[in-house]
């Protein structure tokens, strides 16, 4: 007879056991069944302990959350699948050994043992399902948390996560901009998330991650849940401060008053900078390159369906780029609302202005630039060398005695440079100064960024109307 029968182990002879008991008893005595029962029992116990720890706030570690909400449930489900699978594999043998017999495998509610068995089955199923629902709920929130997006793929997302944490949106979750409301986008995002996890495991992803993001959800559905065009009004004064290598002490200050725009209370026309996204107007354009820095045709649709089309003399798309109409939205200007990187000179000038870099040390602006432009092989190397390198540059200019005398100030300046470096440069991801630029304004117009992509006096309708560059249209003259 079969070995199961002999090793029944609980002292009872097989004759005394019913067909059901034999079947269930034998299931977990096969290696596969044992693995299934074991995995399920161990996982569910740990999950319950984990949930208690998590819900009572006793354990707030995120790696622990990954373990409890992703790894253990996967193990539990895997274990649950193994149990029927093991029955399936063994069923032939069981039939052959006449260990079970379909005739006896009937549920008989009059039988007390059967009732007990059914009750046990129901209780266990309710426990399993409750635990799975709780885990799915907590797991859903956890995989939507900014922490999960930013830290789980640490190396890949580090630039975006670091920039995000310093931005005005630091408390807005990644998913409010990247997924937005609705089940459809949620499912799409999780599927593309799975592809991304695979890409990260294979090391097969772009460095740097390319911008613009091709399939970003239209800003209407995301940004507009918190900012809506009808809310804009008035002007915003912005101050731009800069220094030069020859003059590190007196800032050149430009104060401009930006015409943010909104509805004119008298004419009720939407005016100013946010005119492009007012709901009366639709502005579409065709980009000639993937970065959307060269713009070909532009089409404006006004209320009542009146359209106007602007074109430019040189309208040849870059190789491999198919011309497509894109409706202009927030991202065409605010492409860096939260992943905001600094400009190299801008950050040094901020240091001088806030006196974190001591402007009294002659030549320190130029030396700071040389230091920040150095290509360190890693962030660790930069952390080790930046302060040292600044000391060396200053020593070259002023001699060792000067450095000994001013060491403390130079070290403070060096620490500021290091912080700036760590906020902006990731050699492994090939992210460095100027990798990601913004479209607000026209500081980087020479490289194709900003308003002057369209406001270039060259985009023209067939009647000769151009998209103008008149300073007063966007801000009071500096």
Q: How far is the CB of 34 from ligand HEC (least distance, A)?
A: 42
Q: Which is nearer to ligand HEC, 18 or 208 (CB)?
A: 208
| 21 vs 221, beta carbon nearer ligand HEC | 221
Smaller CB distance to ligand HEC: residue 200 or 369?
A: 200
Please select the residue that binds ligand HEC; options are 14, 221, 271, 392, rule is CB under 6 A.
271
Contact with ligand HEC (CB under 6 A) among 335, 368, 413, 432? 335
CA angle, residues 326, 329, 334, in degrees to nearest 5: 120
- Applying CB under 6 A, which of residues 212, 317, 363, 448 lies at the interface with ligand HEC? 212
Stretch of 186-194, 209-217, 392-400, 414-422 lying at the interface with ligand HEC (CB under 6 A)? 209-217
**φ, ψ of residue 102 in degrees (nearest 5):** -55, -30
Q: Among the candidate windows 36-44, 118-126, 187-195, 210-218, which touches ligand HEC by CB under 6 A?
A: 210-218
The closest of 210, 350, 333, 339 to 277, measured between CA atoms, is 333
| Residue 83 binds ligand HEC, judged by CB under 6 A | no
Which residues, 6 or more positions from 245, have their beta carbon under 8 angstroms from its beta carbon? 363, 365, 366
Structure tokens at 161: 């996560």
Task: Please name the residues in contact with 274: beta carbons below 8 A apart, sequence gap of 6 or more.
Answer: 229, 232, 260, 261, 262
Cα–Cα dist 449/207, whole Å: 21
* Residue nearest to ligand HEC according to CB distances in the complex: 441
Q: Which is nearer to ligand HEC, 136 or 471 (CB)?
A: 471
Nearest distance from C-beta of residue 144 to ligand HEC, angstroms: 10
Site string for ligand HEC, 28-47 (x = CB under 6 A): --------------------
Residue carrying the six token digits 């609705």:
182
The answer to whether 229 and 277 are in contact (CB under 8 A) is yes
Residue 360 CA: distances (Å) to CA of 248, 344, 363, 397 = 8, 20, 9, 14
Site for ligand HEC in 361-380 (CB under 6 A): none
d(CA 112, CA 395): 93
The nearer residue to ligand HEC, 329 or 389, going by C-beta atoms, is: 329
178 counts as binding ligand HEC under rule CB under 6 A: yes
Sign of CA dihedral 440, 443, 448, 452: positive
Question: Could you report how far apart the first and last alpha carbons of the chain are, in Å?
Answer: 98
Q: Is the dihedral of CA 215, 219, 220, 222 positive or negative?
A: positive
Give the chain's length.
Answer: 478
Q: Which runs of E-coded beta strand occur in 48-140? A: none
Name residues contacting ligand HEC, limited to 430-449 (CB under 6 A): 436, 440-443
Site mask for ligand HEC (CB under 6 A), range 288-327, x = bound: -------x--x-x---------------------------
Q: Which of 97, 158, 224, 460 binds ligand HEC (CB under 6 A)?
A: 224
The correct pick among 211, 241, 362, 422 for binding ligand HEC (CB under 6 A) is: 211
Q: Compute the least distance from the CB of residue 220 to ligand HEC, in Å.
A: 7
In the bound state with ligand HEC, the residue whose beta carbon lies nearer, of 12 and 166, is: 166
Using CA atoms, how far residue 4 sits from 26, 93, 105, 360, 446, in Å, is 7, 11, 18, 88, 81
334 binds ligand HEC (CB under 6 A): yes
Q: Choose which of 26, 100, 328, 403 interacts with ligand HEC (CB under 6 A).
A: 328
CB of 330 to ligand HEC, least distance (A): 3
CB contact set of 409 (below 8 Å; sequence gap of 6+)? 358, 361
Within positions 225 to 254, which residues make up the interface with ligand HEC, using CB under 6 A? 225-227, 229, 236, 238, 240, 254
Q: Closest approach of Cβ 373 to ligand HEC, in Å?
A: 21
Choices 56-64, 168-176, 312-320, 352-360; region in contact with ligand HEC by CB under 6 A = 168-176
Token pair for 287: 């980009």
Q: Helix %, strand %, coil % for the chain, to 5? A: 50, 10, 40
Q: Which is nearer to ligand HEC, 115 or 430 (CB)?
A: 430
């Amino acid at each position: 007879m079969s070995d199961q029968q002999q090793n029944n182990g609980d002292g009872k002879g097989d004759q005394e056991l019913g067909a059901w008991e034999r079947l269930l008893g034998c299931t977990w005595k096969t290696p596969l069944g044992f693995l299934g029962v074991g995995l399920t029992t161990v996982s569910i116990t740990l999950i319950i302990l984990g949930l208690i720890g998590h819900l009572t706030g006793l354990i707030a570690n995120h790696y622990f959350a990954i373990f409890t909400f992703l790894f253990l449930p996967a193990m539990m489900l895997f274990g649950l699948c193994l149990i029927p699978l093991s029955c399936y594999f063994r069923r032939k043998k069981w039939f052959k050994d006449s260990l079970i017999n379909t005739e006896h495998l009937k549920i008989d509610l009059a039988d007390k043992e059967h009732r007990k068995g059914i009750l046990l089955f129901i209780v266990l199923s309710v426990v399993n399902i409750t635990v799975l629902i709780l885990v799915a709920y907590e797991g859903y929130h956890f995989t939507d948390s900014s922490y999960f997006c930013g830290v789980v793929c640490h190396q890949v997302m580090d630039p975006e996560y670091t920039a995000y944490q310093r931005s005005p949106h630091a408390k807005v979750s990644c998913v409010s901009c990247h997924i937005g409301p609705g089940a459809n986008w949620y499912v799409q995002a999780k599927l593309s998330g799975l592809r991304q996890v695979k890409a990260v495991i294979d090391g097969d992803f772009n460095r740097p991650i390319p911008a613009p993001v091709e399939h970003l959800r239209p800003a209407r559905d995301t940004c507009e849940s918190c900012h809506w065009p009808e809310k804009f009004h008035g002007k915003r004064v912005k101050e731009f401060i800069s220094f030069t290598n020859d003059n590190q002490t007196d800032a050149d200050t430009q104060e401009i008053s930006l015409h943010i725009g909104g509805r004119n209370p008298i004419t009720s026309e939407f005016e100013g900078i946010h005119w492009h996204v007012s709901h009366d107007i639709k502005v579409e354009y065709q980009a000639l390159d993937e970065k959307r820095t060269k713009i070909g045709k532009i089409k404006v649709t006004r209320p009542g369906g009146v359209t106007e089309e602007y074109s430019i003399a040189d309208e040849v798309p870059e190789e491999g780029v198919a011309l497509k109409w894109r409706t202009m939205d927030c991202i065409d200007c605010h492409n860096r609302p939260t992943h905001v990187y600094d400009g190299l000179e801008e950050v040094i000038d901020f240091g001088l202005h806030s006196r974190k870099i001591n402007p009294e040390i002659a030549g320190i602006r130029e030396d700071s630039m040389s230091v920040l432009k150095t290509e360190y092989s890693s962030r660790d190397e930069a952390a080790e060398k930046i302060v040292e390198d600044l000391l060396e540059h200053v020593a070259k200019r002023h001699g060792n005695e000067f450095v000994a005398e001013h060491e403390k100030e130079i070290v403070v300046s060096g620490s500021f440079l290091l912080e700036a470096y760590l906020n902006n440069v990731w050699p492994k991801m090939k992210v460095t100064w100027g990798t990601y630029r913004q479209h607000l304004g026209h500081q980087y117009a020479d490289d194709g960024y900003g308003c002057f992509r369209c406001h270039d006096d060259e985009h023209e309708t067939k009647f000769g109307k151009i998209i103008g560059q008149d300073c007063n249209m966007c801000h009071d003259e500096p």
